[in-house]
Amino acid sequence: MSRFAKKYIAIQVNSKGIELFYVRLPKSLTGTKKIKSVRLFSQPDTEEFDKEYWAARKKLESQLAGYVEPEIKIPSGKTFLHFFAEFKKTSRWQNYDEDTRRGKINRMNQFFENYAQAGKIDFTILKTSHFLDLQDKMAQTPHQFNNLRKDLVVMYKEAIKREFGNIDRDNFRSPLDYVDPLPVNTAGHHTWTLEEIEQFQDYWPIGTMPRKAFDLILFTGTRVSDAYRLGPQNEIENGSKLRFKVFKNRNSKPKEIELPILPELRQSLNSVPSGQLAYVTSSYGRPFASPKAFSQWVVKKRKLAGLPACCVPHGLRKGGATIAAENGATEQQLKSIFGWDTLSQVQRYTRTASQKIGAESGIFHLNLKRKENKAT
């Protein structure tokens, strides 16, 4: 029996691109119970693997049968722990997707652990000076501070609106009002150059799975979180277009995008049929389990192509935007292709192209003869 026919097999890809196998009970069975997954170390499709699998199944199912739900102690008073517990009951929290919630929980836990046991502090008496001190301590990690600050701003806004901790809505002011984000490097991810794009394509020709993944990102302008999910089920109008719902902000700002399939992409998609709902699959013929696993796999293929570490999948999206801009795409066209909402988003991604275009058209003004003629 193939391992993929067995129930509860989960596959993860580590930072080296190696697939790891686990037996993991689904949430539909465990509910709120915390049952840890069991790692399988044997080679798949072997007798040893089967023995490990059934032993793991027996262990997990026995744990589930004998599980006693621990008593949940809700923090009391006005502590930050209580504040966060109350915030997680709000509709605002419920509208966050699972990945967003996980990120916020991790940041708050680090905040509680690393800064004077912040979870035990009365959130209603914290002052701006406390958060300015926190800003100073996190000055070397501006992205981390800015993300935490953003979380806290929203939390205090909800606290004031709902009068958490019996605060006076009309007189209480958020201590974050005078705490600005830390400045960060706005350049962001490296934008793939045309030479780097061609180097990857030369190493991974049409007919290989890495090339299909590469072309899918490049010729659709999609984020990794969308690219790894796309498949034949997203094709419409006899395979001439793709239609899909954007994963990012899918709960708060749902958006659907429809894109023509360029001839280059169609050739690449047809060259390696996956036989799955996803165009791109792993070496085991399975769709990737997560955007992170897909991204790590692309990075591994980029290394084999001899490209520098700065060439990451998200930078390829920027490379596509730059190429489109240099070829004359308008800002509105770029917004439609890449799913951006504001002009500032377009400008952030196409800054390099704008500089090149401006320089090429403006360099001719550096003409001393024109200046002399004007003087006479």
The pLDDT tens digits for 289-346 are 888 899 999 999 999 999 999 999 988 888 888 888 777 778 788 777 777 677 776 7
Does residue 361 surpass a pLDDT of 90? no
Average pLDDT over residues 222-237: 91
Rounded Cα gap, residues 114 and 138, in angstroms: 11
The pLDDT value given to residue 23: 87
Rounded Cα gap, residues 330 and 184, in angstroms: 28
**Cβ contact 63:84 at 8 Å:** no
Strands of the 38-40 sheet, one edge to the other: 9-13, 19-23, 38-40
DSSP 3-state assignment of 233?
Answer: helix
Average pLDDT over residues 212-225: 91
Q: pLDDT digits over 156-180, tens only?
A: 999 999 888 888 888 889 999 999 9
pLDDT band at 227 (very low <50, low <70, confident <90, very high): very high
How is domain 194-362 classified at the CATH fold level? hpI Integrase; Chain A (1.10.443)
pLDDT band at 370 (very low <50, low <70, confident <90, very high): low
* Strand (E) or helix (H) holding 162: helix 142-162
The pLDDT value given to residue 73: 45
The pLDDT value given to residue 120: 77
Structure tokens at 154: 């929203």
Listed as own residue / partner, the contacts of 207-210 with beta carbons closer than 8 Å and 24 or more positions apart are 207/271, 207/272, 208/272, 209/272, 209/280, 209/281, 210/298, 210/301
The pLDDT value given to residue 71: 42
Strands of the 241-245 sheet, one edge to the other: 235-236, 241-245, 256-260
Neighbours of 300 (CB within 10 A): 15
Average pLDDT over residues 343-365: 64
pLDDT band at 279 (very low <50, low <70, confident <90, very high): very high
Percent above pLDDT 70 for the chain = 83
pLDDT band at 155 (very low <50, low <70, confident <90, very high): very high
Does residue 30 or residue 70 have the better pLDDT? Answer: 30
Rounded Cα gap, residues 343 and 123, in angstroms: 37
Give the start-to-end residue ranges of the domains of the chain: 9-62, 80-162, 194-362
pLDDT band at 275 (very low <50, low <70, confident <90, very high): confident
Does residue 1 surpass a pLDDT of 50? no
Residue 330 makes CB contacts below 8 A (sequence gap 6+) with: none
Does residue 287 or residue 374 have the better pLDDT? Answer: 287
Mean residue pLDDT of the chain comes to 81
The pLDDT value given to residue 2: 44
**Cβ contact 269:250 at 8 Å:** no
The pLDDT value given to residue 110: 84
Q: pLDDT digits over 113-145, tens only?
A: 777 566 777 888 888 998 998 899 888 888 899
Length of the chain (residues): 376
Placement of tokens 């739900």 in the chain: 69
Residue 160's nearest CA partner among 152, 172, 148 is 172
